Structure 1
Amino acid sequence: YDAKEAAGETVTIGMRKGDQLANGSKDIPCEHNIRHNGTMYAAANMVRARACGKLVLGDKANPQTTFHLNEGHVTDMCEIGGDLQSQRDVHYEVKVPSALTKTRQAGQGSAAHGGCCASLGHKFGFGNTLDQTLLKVLGCKERGHKSQGPLVHATGKGWVKEHKGQYYDALHVKNGIVKICLVESQGGIAPPTKRIIFNFAKEVGSPSAVDRTDYGTASGSARGFAQHHSQQLSRAAVSGDAQNINNAARNMRVAHSFMTGLNAPPPCARAF
């Protein structure tokens, strides 16, 4: 970035801290699957630790494998008959968003589509990520009437158009259960995900339950279910985000070297 600034380009503090490298831009492509997949595997280990049914992992490259579970969107994970009381299938959708993206939503909505989510991370925890994720994954029912105009967040009055989420088929056609595993790229675990963790910890804590968690052997390793899996989820998200920054920085350095005629060292095979 020193070279960019010396060449007269605008370099912001956020760029120097890695926001653009982590989240990508038109000039710097970003592979978001790194942090998503790592977090999904950590979540899968948590579910398997107390699973009572078979856990199926979705594959976006081969959507037919889980098409019968949720039509229209590839499920991240589905525990067949995973609900202890009803024996219904339980879907887990993993999201690892960043709260530091450049774009934001004002929440004004429109006359045609009604109210929309607002970016409120400056007021509430997960205010930039959770509402948008809930709407995208679970959808929402219509609220109010179109004649009222778009929803006004300050008053709670106005119209919200019905929206079918990614798991509409699993929820309303196949009568399944959908749970959201949302971990922000900086490691924060959203309240709905914390409830999943604590409910699992309660289940494995009963005398007749089995906890298959592979706890560490070091003296400082977590011994409790909630603490261990919370650490693993946060670690996966943060490590994946750091790897994104490292990969993007290497690629940007190589591209800059080609443009300036400098000889750049070969890319390192290991991300730190």
Structure 2
Amino acid sequence: MRIAAVQHDIVWEDRDANFARLAPKVAQAVGAGAELVLLSETFSTGFSMAPGIGEPEGGPSSRFLSAQAAEHGVWLGGTCPEIADDAGGAGEGTSTLPYNSFVLAGPDGTVHRYRKLHPFTHAGEHERFRAGEKPVTVQIGDLRVTPFICYDLRFANVFWQAAPDTDVYLVPANWPSPRRSHWQTLLVARAIENQAYVVGCNRVGTAGDGTEHVGDSRIVSPMGELLATAAGVETIVVADVDPAEVSATRDRLRFLPDRRG
């Protein structure tokens, strides 16, 4: 399967402007042959934690992904702040806070959701967003896809937990430029230690809170080789991933069965 990561800037807290900017970029990725297209973390709002930033499940960001997936006949994913259907009307309690939700929309109208397990406490995300409960793996043809989100990348244990059932990890992010070497290193490390593909899609540009991002989106092979990379501009990285390569790597180098814990 050919996967594309769309490395893009984000208009702060302006969903409609971001939809208008991203639609032609999705089309460009599809034109390059992509069957699965990945957008950044909080692609429609930026990494805003403003009160009221949440939208309902099936809200405008999710509808954008579904509409684009249906129009182009591809899978399309990215994250957005979503308040769960079970939140109820409990006022200002925890249940009304949004999740940082990865939405993966299929060409047939199918929608899968993964909720970020590790809110970024260093920036106060844990005070504005709820934490998810478990990893989610989606079967797309013969490819097993497991998404994680940005800060999750620092927690090897959840990648390990999902590894036996994963061929490719998707990691959309708003990773800041001062720690870019961490992003680059951890993407490769997660690929090597789990013998799986890793697709990292990071934004570029300056966020509304002044945080700088320089992209460094990349697609990494099960052996840790860089199949596609990007620097600090809006662009699209594309590579072919093959579940048979994951199986062959794990058969040739039987490291996973030796893992303890």
Q: Whose helix proportion is higher, 1 or 2?
A: 1
**TM-score, with structure 2 as normaliser:** 0.25
**TM-score, with structure 1 as normaliser:** 0.25
Q: Whose strand proportion is higher, 1 or 2?
A: 2
Point out the structure with max Rg over C-alpha: 1
